[in-house]
Amino acid sequence: MRIKTNIIFLYADSMRRDLSTCYILEQILNERGFKTLICCRRNFLRLLRLVEPRQLFIVGQVDMFHQQSIQRAAKNHQTYIYFMPAEGFASDAEYVNMYPKDVDYSFIQAVFFWGKNSLEWFEKNRPSGNAKALRRTGYARLPIAREYSAIGGRGGKKIGFVGRFPALNDIYKRSMMRFLVSEKSASERAKLMARQDSEAKAMNCYIELFEFIVENTNLQVSLRPHPNEDVTTYQAFIKRFGERFEIDQSFDVAEWMASCHAIVGMASSSFIDAHEVNTPVICIDKYLGCQSGTLLFDPALEWMYESCHLPNSLDDIKALLLGESLRSVASERFTTLIAEDFRGDSDTVFETIASEILENSLKPKPLDNALLIFLRFLDFVLASLHFVRRNNALQFDYSSYYHPISAKLKNVSAEIRKRVNLALPF
């Protein structure tokens, strides 16, 4: 029998993508007297075997709702579930995969969409049954990015390189062959092969640019690996370039981008964060000749090409990096995309989410304090097992012990909380 609790569970699917959203929500709720616990892949389902939280906020993937423990608690009105997609923007064809038809959405209390198009697609194609609220809240990282920009500002002494190499450098060290043989359709295998080819060309280009920057400038090279990459692979560059090379592990991509003079990378949704912090982006896809392969892998990245410089050659890339007039660029089409697909009905993303959660919140139970201490200790034990085993999942899953919150994220949270105005439900 599970222990019923009024502790609000906040699930962050990926530490370096979703943690800041959960952390800021945690601070908002804690200020109002509620107890909260940030969960991750490592501990989430284990904890649900022990406890039955009254409130559960998830930033993650829809396929989590296939879990019977989640469905059971929600359908019995024992747990109120609130969902925000970790990946909330796609082409219309990709929304079919993002929100599968076989998932039961009726037990979700509220779904928080990034923008107008995703909300309208869901309303038209996925009847939500008894779902109480479909909200266009906006992309939570936009207000976060604006605060990082205000704190840091552009002008850093480093060039940032966006890591997008999960096919070649898998976090769990799975081989490319394993991915290839697991795909059942020819079209999916074609996507995978195109992606592998693009990643190999991109890394070769990166290495040439690393050498160029170290030899010809006083700038530092800063590589931010994708959350699904094995970070230890890049220790080879630290041995080779010393202090001129760093592996960025900031909680937020916006914090890192705001500290960079410029960003170099393959097409990525992180270009949106660069746009918000006004850091120029140099996209290497045109030079590599991999634009068609990239769009085969992820059609929605088409729009990212309108928020960056697209040089034709390696010499053009070098010239941009050395040029004093390098500036952030964005087409009118891209600006419209941000307004329609990443901004909510208001700028108060966190206030909207917190107000929904508070509608069904109850004061902490007398034993919730002790239970929270126990659950945090349990998570410490689970995280320590990853640490002892040198399990790369620790770089993906948040631990309050192994990943202390940065001073900048604390400042960002404080600034956002100043603008939150909420009434308590009791």
The pLDDT tens digits for 102-120 are 887 878 889 999 998 889 8
User: Which of 84-88, 154-158, 224-228, 274-278 has the weakest average pLDDT?
Assistant: 154-158
pLDDT at 158: 94
Q: pLDDT-derived band of residue 1, with 50, 70 and 90 as boundaries?
A: confident
Percent of the chain topping pLDDT 90: 51
pLDDT of 370 strictly over 70: yes
Tokens representing 205 are 């280009």
pLDDT at 145: 92
Percent of the chain topping pLDDT 70: 94
pLDDT of 245 strictly over 90: yes
CATH class of residue range 143-341 = alpha beta
pLDDT of 132 strictly over 80: no
pLDDT of 234 strictly over 60: yes
pLDDT at 288: 94
pLDDT at 184: 81
Q: pLDDT-derived band of residue 295, with 50, 70 and 90 as boundaries?
A: confident
pLDDT at 173: 82
Rounded Cα gap, residues 214 and 321, in angstroms: 12
Residues 6 or more apart whose Cβ sits within 8 Å of residue 326: 261, 262, 280, 309, 320
pLDDT at 302: 92
Task: Indicate the SS3 state at residue 171.
Answer: coil
- Computed over every residue of the chain, the mean pLDDT equals 88
What CATH number belongs to 3-139+344-418?
Answer: 3.40.50
pLDDT at 155: 59
Residues 6 or more apart whose Cβ sits within 8 Å of residue 251: 15, 16, 19, 20, 23, 403, 405, 406, 409
pLDDT of 64 strictly over 90: no
Mean pLDDT of the region 318-327: 91
Rounded Cα gap, residues 326 and 279, in angstroms: 9
| C-beta contacts of 121-127 below 8 A and 24+ residues apart | 121/92, 121/95, 122/95, 125/95, 125/96, 125/99, 126/99, 126/101
pLDDT at 153: 55
Q: pLDDT-derived band of residue 137, with 50, 70 and 90 as boundaries?
A: very high
Rounded Cα gap, residues 365 and 202, in angstroms: 54
pLDDT of 12 strictly over 80: yes
Inter-residue contact 86 to 58 (CB < 8 Å): no
pLDDT of 95 strictly over 90: no
